[in-house]
Amino acid sequence: MLICIPDVLSKNDVADFRRIMAAEPWEDGRSTAGAQSAEVKNNGQLPPDGKTSRQLGERILRALAANTLFLSAAVPLHIFPPLFNRYVPGQFFGEHVDNCIRGDHLTGLRIRTDLSVTLFLSEPDEYDGGELVVNDYYGSHRVKLPAGHLVIYPSTSLHLVTPITRGARICSFFWLQSMIKDPLARRMTFDMDNAIQGLVHRLGRNDPEVRKLTNVYHNIVRYWAEV
């Protein structure tokens, strides 16, 4: 299941990120790739341990912590420090698998990658190609979002980025471990939360049935969550 979250970063934030990144060196993206993905990866990355990556990453994490749609969809336990990549003409990332476990040697954080996230920092009209293609049991999904929006997709999927033919595609990408490991359970809690939010809008938060459903929602998350 793919979930798109709009307006995680404002256009002003995106412009500020882009201004800061423009002054940085880009290194070979294979520095963070696993054995399989390194053979099909051709892009540039900001040095993952550099001050700029870490500071911009912190800003993204703060934005995510305040984004109720993201929190409801992902129910994150641990979020890997965000990385930043750039594709220019001729660059691409062939079909690959994301490593199941990722460790960050600076913080000691080690996570199971349940969900992969791409946060777009270029507008779609700034480049041609560069679509994220996620292949899952339901088919092949192509994603290209406005700057400041992100997509969450299962780390269990094979996925790729199509070759760039014009401009530059700049994104942040990262992984997270969800408190709800089971994808179906996570999907059901997200659907239920969405339905409750719709009822809250129509009936108010303290309608008796809304209150009961809210209680059930919290009990379901309590039942499934591992923290």
- Binding mask 87-106 toward Ni ion (x if CB under 5 A, else -) reads -----------x--------
Q: In terms of CB distance, is 98 or 114 closer to Ni ion?
A: 98
Closer Cβ to Ni ion, 13 or 98, answer by number: 98
Q: How far is the CB of 154 from Ni ion (least distance, A)?
A: 11
Please give the Cα distance from 45 to 87 (Å, whole number). 9
Q: What is the residue-wise DSSP string for 35-81?
A: HHHHTTEE-EE--TTSHHHHHHHHHHHHHHHT-HHHHHHH-EEEEPP
Residue number, 175 or 189, with CB nearest to Ni ion: 175
114 binds Ni ion (CB under 5 A): no
Cβ neighbours around 192 below 10 Å, total: 17
Comparison of 7 and 95: residue with beta carbon closer to Ni ion: 95
Binding mask 23-52 for Ni ion (x = CB under 5 A): ------------------------------
CA distance 226 to 218: 14
The answer to the question of residue 193 lying near Ni ion (CB under 5 A) is no
Rg of the chain in Å (alpha carbons): 18
Distance in angstroms (rounded) separating the CA atoms of residues 17 and 13: 6
**How many residues bind to Ni ion according to rule CB under 5 A?**
1
Residues that bind Ni ion (CB under 5 A): 98
